[in-house]
Structure 1
Amino acid sequence: MIDLDNQTPLAVDLEALEKIADTLSTKEVELIITDDETMQKLNAEHRGKNKVTDVLSFPMETPFTEQSIFGMPLGSIIIAASFVKEKAAEFGHSTQDELSLLFIHGMLHLLGFDHENDQGEMRMREKELIMQFNLPESLIVRTEEH
């Protein structure tokens, strides 16, 4: 289940994102869609990078055993609406497709994947999910390039 807090006018197909979330976890996930100013502050505060980024993930800071016992959420995903619009236009797909890609990316981080330190496992899983949910191949190319 997704707890959506859309702080922007960006249209969101929550049902499509729920299908992705349900495939990856039974835990609740908080999804916040926000503006550049908020995203820049969060990125500076939590990652030491004073710039806007596309997506941030904040896993729940409790042991998985406690999460399962108490039904704690998996964590929070924060997405910058400006990146969704910009990248959708740049790559020629819908804003919902872009939002789905960023949501997949955020969910994988919540589940412990880390593309900065793994051997390509996260990118491979992203590719599988893009294909599973019939998202545009431009998203696969983009994840392989980064």
Structure 2
Amino acid sequence: MTLRLDFANEQEEVTLPEGLERRLEELLALAGEMESVDAGDVSVTIVDDEAIRELNLQYRKLDKPTDVLSFSMWESAGEETPIVYGDESEGDDVEDGETVELPDEPIGDIVISAATAKRQSEEYGHSFERELGFLFVHGFLHLIGYDHEDEAAERVMTEKQEQVLRRAGLSR
């Protein structure tokens, strides 16, 4: 069983960093290892602002572009994915460091706006590659059940994102 990435670039206005697909595969492997997710398919599609605006309107009723959207197959299948916080878990008896056996099937889809990511990388003063990596890891964590609805959950998610990015050499 392995984690697999399906990569598609469906925009032409922004030149993506060379080797981006390999970098996202690396980030997927690191995030999967950190979260004990060792099997499944993750699709990432890079789009323009108009395409992500349409998806944002359709699924979130927000008529504006955004940076990243995640569509979890686990949620749509009615499965509740255990979320592991350090040594604790919600809804499952997973020991710290134990691998969670999950079906080798789609985990979900991540859609990233290249134009928005490019703008944000310039605003935040870091590389475009780092911003794309951040958005990908952020999207992956959403796919497996994390959210940032309150301050505590946001801190957990932010630390996990930064941990993966540091391990991949994409620090600020």
TM tier, smaller: 0.7 to 0.9
Higher gyration radius (CA): 2
SS of 2:66 mapped into structure 1:
coil
Please show how residues 1-146 of structure 1 align to structure 2 within 5 Å.
1-9=4-12, 10-12=15-17, 13-23=20-30, 24=32, 25=37, 26-60=39-73, 61-62=76-77, 63=79, 68-69=102-103, 71-117=104-150, 119=152, 120-137=155-172
Structure with bigger RCO (C-alpha 8 Å, 6+ apart): 2
Contact 2:27 2:165 in 1 (8 A): no
SS of 2:40 mapped into structure 1:
coil
User: In the alignment, residue 51 of structure 2 is paired with which amino acid?
Assistant: T
For these two proteins, the number of residue pairs brought into alignment is 135
Aligned-residue RMSD, C-alpha = 2.0
Q: Deviations over 1:114-136 (max 9, x none)?
A: 01246121112112112222213
Q: Deviations over 1:36-61 (max 9, x none)?
A: 11111111111111111000000002
How much has 1:64 moved relative to structure 2?
6.9
TM norm structure 2: 0.71
How much has 1:112 moved relative to structure 2?
0.5
User: In the alignment, residue 28 of structure 2 is paired with which amino acid?
Assistant: A
Q: Which moved more, 1:26-35 or 1:112-121?
A: 112-121
5+ residue gaps, structure 2, are 82-100
